[in-house]
Chains A and B, each alone.
Chain A
Amino acid sequence: MSFFPPRSGFRLAMLVFLATGALFLPPVVLRYVLPGLSPFLFVCTVVATRNIGLSALLSLPMLAFVVWRRRGFCHHICPVGWLVELCAKARTTANCDYGRVPLIGQWAALLTMGGAVATLPLFLLLDPLALFTGAVGGAHVPLWVLRLACAGGLAVLLVLSVAFPLLWCKRLCPLGAMQDLLAELNGLFARRLSESPCESGEGDLGLARRAFLGLGGGMAVSALAVRAPGAAAATCLRPPGAIDDARFATLCVRCGNCVRSCPSEIIRPDVQPPGLAGLLAPTLSFEANYCLETCNACGQNCPTGAIAGLTLAAKNACRIGLARIAETGCLLAVEKECSACAAICPRGAIIEEFSAETYTAMVRVDAETCNGCGACVAVCPPRVISVVPAGQA
């Protein structure tokens, strides 16, 4: 049997585009286009964030396409599908009948979409395009952990595809499964319209049950998780415009776009998150640089809205965290010449305060004006300033 059509003009065009894009186009193009192509990411993030972005220009036609052509995305567009197919070709004799394997991909897709309704798209990061972007997207120094992880994930997927050809596409991939669901839905409508109710057989009832359980289950789990005490409290520093932490861990698909887009190189995949859910999600490090007043690239490059695509002004109004000065280590505490932090703060949020009683001057962070941009962290000679997440301040 053949899952993929023998020849596809689209696919060829896609591969040529990827190759030339990787070589000649500015990296931002692939960064935008790749995840933007996935209808699964699109539907889930629009539902979860209640917000529709520019990438809809790409995603909406794609959605229409997959409704019209069952598995059209897999057959003609998906670069991961192409790799899976190559693996399958190496094993022509293998048995590709997975009729008895549960529809894991469909459950994942349903749970995720159900979760999205309650703002927590549970398994969004299983999206193959996000994985692909993470693994092959432009190189970037702070990104190597994430790239390694994504490349590792992709490698596992490919090994799996050699051992069980096409298992991923047929049974595991939520993006593929979503297309099946859409097609089934489409079929249901078509039959309803053709007024032959008796034809609605067991499969359709199965669909209704699956949908009910999957969407409902996803919604329930997400609703509970979002409302869990302390879930939304920021425990990590996130890029400006990041959605609250509970949602962030699931909305972020670890594609690495924000890390790549940051000219200051302050965004890092979190390798030591406080909870496992946050593993490799972007976090901030101000060791060498800070969040520039002139940049809003991370949000603009986020395919899922985990980091909102804000205007520059809106981004600058965002609070990333709050600077905290460990006063005993401050040079002013021993009357040494400093106040570098106050001098460099772009917002004048570090204020010098004088105590007539002790006749000493100290610096204090004004919590109202500080947005946690981190400019003060690297200039402090004894390094006694840190930025803490707004929730902890």
Chain B
Amino acid sequence: MKHLNRRDFIRALGFTSLAAGGMGRVLADPIHEGSQVVEGITASARGAAAFLEDGKVIQPRREVPVFRDTDVLVVGGGTAGVVAALAARRAGVNTTLVERYGCFGGLWTAGLVLIVLCTHVPGEGKRTKMVQGIGDEILARIHSQKHGAINYSADGPHDATTDPEVTKYVLARMLREEGVDIVLHSWVTNAILDGDAVRGVLFESKAGCMAIRAKVVIDATGDGDVFDAAGAESIPHVHRIGLVHRLGNVPEGNSPEGLNLGGATPIPGVRWVNMQGPQGDCLDVPTLTNCELDGREAIWNKLKQIQETPGYENVFLLDVASQLGVRASRTLVGTQELRLEETLEQKAYADVIGVGGTYSFLKNLPCAIPYGSLVPVRVDNLLASGRCVAADNTMLNYTRLIAPCMLTGQAAGAAAALAVQENCTPRNVDVAKLQGLLKAQGAYLG
């Protein structure tokens, strides 16, 4: 057997790019197929181990390595985060997107929440699409894929239902096409503060804890992890925590009495089944653990019931969401709060950054969202987007839905980019310019 030198070996495996990216040095010849011993991939960023001092666990003080320097950092690759990253990047600034898991879409995909609510308002005889811009572009691209989406249209069927894998693929494609700097498998744990100004974040990874420095940070974590770390005020909520799943091989037709076979998906015979679940504190680890375990158990119990029903013996469990269905946890205390009364009065916000479709408690009215609901009261260089924006206890049940998350995502991305370009803090962004940019990106502002 011919002995390869280190370089040849790596090239042979096609790993050149990875090597350049910091794969490290192969130390010795391969021992087993596909497994090599390399030097330098050990987590150099971890720092020294913690130690005990009087029985307390202490972390040693150290300098944290900086993994990236960027203009706009988006934390969280859910609906809001992806749209925010696309909006910022398209506005022409360097944009980094950090996601703790391995795919994009968050609850929309990994959470298997497949129905995109609140895109339209009903009108005379037909519906009018409110959610345009990047969100609608994404939906259109998903729809253009085979088995990508059902019920997607301009003025007819609404509440598009999408396929999670197509969505993950389309989101990743679009991010890569725009040249967004993508960082996966990295869990943001803290903020870097300079007085009241955020200068970046710390994240945990297989390689240890590292820092990303940024001029503006967008919190799209859904739970407000970043604004909470930065000391911005927020309101804690408990909400129902569910675990969504999909069933395969489901016969056509209505569900029999007492069986919940969920809603249709773009794949024939496959249905997605929502779960309400118990109310709980979505930031509490034991709660999340129990909801995950109990939720799975409940799904299997229900499946058994379905399979015992004549005609449904061959229904099988296709998958259970890999992301637990957290509806609401923290919401930002913003410079403005989206309020039910104001929405029902159809208050005209001078700083409107998006208009969403209607929802049950909005009585067929559209919903304008003010920029202030993304801006923390005190902390600078930080914007919220997605389900953690500032809204009252009723309206958070609107802002948390997928289409409104698209709106707040696009607005946060565009505003962050403007702040970088104009060299100001997001709170001082010229609202007229922001609205102009959003319109140029296709958004509908009323």
Q: How far is the CB of B243 from chain A (nearest CB, A)?
A: 10
Assuming the A-B contacts A340-B397, A343-B394, are A359 and B277 also in contact, with contact meaning beta carbons closer than 8 angstroms in the complex? yes
Q: Does B141 contact A (CB under 8 A)?
A: no
Residue in chain A with minimal CB distance to B359: A340
Kindly list chain B residues whose C-beta atoms are within 8 Å of the C-beta of A379: 360-361, 363
Contact between B276 and A343 (Cβ–Cβ < 8 Å)? no
Contact between A361 and B278 (Cβ–Cβ < 8 Å)? yes
Assuming the A-B contacts A343-B393, A352-B240, A359-B298, are A335 and B262 also in contact, with contact meaning beta carbons closer than 8 angstroms in the complex? yes
Q: How far is the CB of B393 from chain A (nearest CB, A)?
A: 7
Contact between B394 and A332 (Cβ–Cβ < 8 Å)? no
Contact between A361 and B361 (Cβ–Cβ < 8 Å)? no
Within 8 Å by CB of B276, from A332, A356, A378, A380, lies A332
A334 to B242, CA, bound (A): 13
Q: How far is the CB of A334 from chain B (nearest CB, A)?
A: 5
Within 8 Å by CB of A340, from B277, B278, B360, lies B360
A344 to B295, CA, bound (A): 28
Residue in chain B with minimal CB distance to A343: B394
Q: How many residues of A contact B (CB 8 A)?
A: 20
Q: Does A338 contact B (CB under 8 A)?
A: yes
Residue in chain A with minimal CB distance to B401: A337
Interface residues of B in 36-63 (CB under 8 A from A): none
Residue in chain B with minimal CB distance to A340: B360
Q: Does B423 contact A (CB under 8 A)?
A: no
Q: Does A369 contact B (CB under 8 A)?
A: no
A294 to B393, CA, bound (A): 19
Give a binary string over A311-355; 1 marks a CB under 8 Å from any B CB, 0 the rest: 000000000000000000000101111111001100000001010
Residue in chain A with minimal CB distance to B244: A335
Give a binary string over B187-198; 1 marks a CB under 8 Å from any A CB, 0 the rest: 000000000000
Q: Does A92 contact B (CB under 8 A)?
A: no
Contact between A344 and B340 (Cβ–Cβ < 8 Å)? yes
Within 8 Å by CB of A339, from B298, B301, B397, lies B397
Within 8 Å by CB of B273, from A335, A344, A380, lies A335
Contact between A359 and B294 (Cβ–Cβ < 8 Å)? yes
Within 8 Å by CB of A354, from B263, B277, B302, B340, lies B277
Within 8 Å by CB of B277, from A334, A339, A361, lies A361
Contact between A344 and B361 (Cβ–Cβ < 8 Å)? yes
Kindly list chain B residues whose C-beta atoms are within 8 Å of the C-beta of A332: 276
Contact between B274 and A336 (Cβ–Cβ < 8 Å)? yes
Kindly list chain A residues whose C-beta atoms are within 8 Å of the C-beta of B298: 359
Give a binary string over B349-366; 1 marks a CB under 8 Å from any A CB, 0 the rest: 000000000011101000
* Secondary structure class of chain A's binding surface, majority of residues: mixed
Most B CB contacts (10 A, CB to CB) among A335, A339, A340, A378 go to: A335
Contact between A335 and B240 (Cβ–Cβ < 8 Å)? no
Contact between A343 and B301 (Cβ–Cβ < 8 Å)? no
A130 to B273, CA, bound (A): 59
A383 to B136, CA, bound (A): 30
Kindly list chain B residues whose C-beta atoms are within 8 Å of the C-beta of A337: 115, 117, 274, 401
A74 to B115, CA, bound (A): 70
Q: Does A187 contact B (CB under 8 A)?
A: no
Most A CB contacts (10 A, CB to CB) among B340, B360, B363 go to: B360
Q: How far is the CB of A152 from chain B (nearest CB, A)?
A: 35
Give a binary string over A153-194; 1 marks a CB under 8 Å from any B CB, 0 the rest: 000000000000000000000000000000000000000000
Residue in chain B with minimal CB distance to A351: B279
Kindly list chain B residues whose C-beta atoms are within 8 Å of the C-beta of A338: 360
Residue in chain B with minimal CB distance to A294: B341
Q: Does A61 contact B (CB under 8 A)?
A: no
Kindly list chain B residues whose C-beta atoms are within 8 Å of the C-beta of A381: 360
Q: How far is the CB of A391 from chain B (nearest CB, A)?
A: 29
A359 to B260, CA, bound (A): 13
Q: How far is the CB of A350 from chain B (nearest CB, A)?
A: 12
Contact between B279 and A354 (Cβ–Cβ < 8 Å)? yes
Kindly list chain A residues whose C-beta atoms are within 8 Å of the C-beta of B277: 354, 359, 361
Residue in chain A with minimal CB distance to B273: A335
Kindly list chain B residues whose C-beta atoms are within 8 Å of the C-beta of A352: 240, 279
Residue in chain A with minimal CB distance to B362: A379
Residue in chain A with minimal CB distance to B117: A337
Contact between A340 and B361 (Cβ–Cβ < 8 Å)? yes
A354 to B277, CA, bound (A): 7
Assuming the A-B contacts A360-B276, A361-B276, A379-B363, are A334 and B260 also in contact, with contact meaning beta carbons closer than 8 angstroms in the complex? yes
Q: Does B26 contact A (CB under 8 A)?
A: no
Give a binary string over B299-331; 1 marks a CB under 8 Å from any A CB, 0 the rest: 001100000000000000000000000000000
Kindly list chain A residues whose C-beta atoms are within 8 Å of the C-beta of B301: 359
A381 to B361, CA, bound (A): 8
Interface residues of A in 353-393 (CB under 8 A from B): 354, 356, 359-361, 378-381
Q: Does B172 contact A (CB under 8 A)?
A: no
Q: Does B275 contact A (CB under 8 A)?
A: yes
Contact between B240 and A361 (Cβ–Cβ < 8 Å)? yes
Kindly list chain A residues whose C-beta atoms are within 8 Å of the C-beta of B302: 359
Assuming the A-B contacts A335-B273, A359-B294, are A343 and B240 also in contact, with contact meaning beta carbons closer than 8 angstroms in the complex? no
Kindly list chain A residues whose C-beta atoms are within 8 Å of the C-beta of B240: 339, 352, 354, 361
Interface residues of A in 64-84 (CB under 8 A from B): none
A343 to B392, CA, bound (A): 10
Within 8 Å by CB of B275, from A335, A339, A356, lies A335
Contact between A378 and B397 (Cβ–Cβ < 8 Å)? no
A210 to B242, CA, bound (A): 75
Kindly list chain B residues whose C-beta atoms are within 8 Å of the C-beta of A336: 263, 274
Q: How far is the CB of A216 from chain B (nearest CB, A)?
A: 55
Most A CB contacts (10 A, CB to CB) among B242, B260, B276, B359 go to: B276
Kindly list chain B residues whose C-beta atoms are within 8 Å of the C-beta of A340: 359-361, 397
Inter-chain pairs besides A338-B360, A340-B361, A380-B360, 18 sampled, C-beta below 8 Å: A332-B276, A335-B260, A335-B262, A335-B273, A335-B274, A337-B401, A339-B240, A340-B360, A340-B397, A343-B393, A344-B394, A354-B277, A356-B278, A359-B277, A361-B276, A361-B277, A361-B278, A379-B363
30 contacts between A and B (CB under 8 A): A334-B260, A335-B242, A335-B260, A335-B274, A335-B275, A336-B263, A337-B115, A337-B117, A337-B274, A339-B397, A340-B359, A340-B361, A343-B393, A344-B340, A352-B240, A354-B277, A354-B278, A354-B279, A356-B294, A359-B275, A359-B294, A359-B298, A359-B302, A361-B240, A361-B276, A361-B277, A361-B278, A378-B363, A379-B360, A381-B360
Residues of A that sit less than 8 Å from B by CB: 332, 334-340, 343-344, 352, 354, 356, 359-361, 378-381
The 9 A-B residue pairs with the shortest CB-CB distance in the complex, in nearest-first order: A359-B298, A361-B276, A340-B360, A379-B361, A354-B278, A343-B394, A335-B274, A340-B361, A381-B360
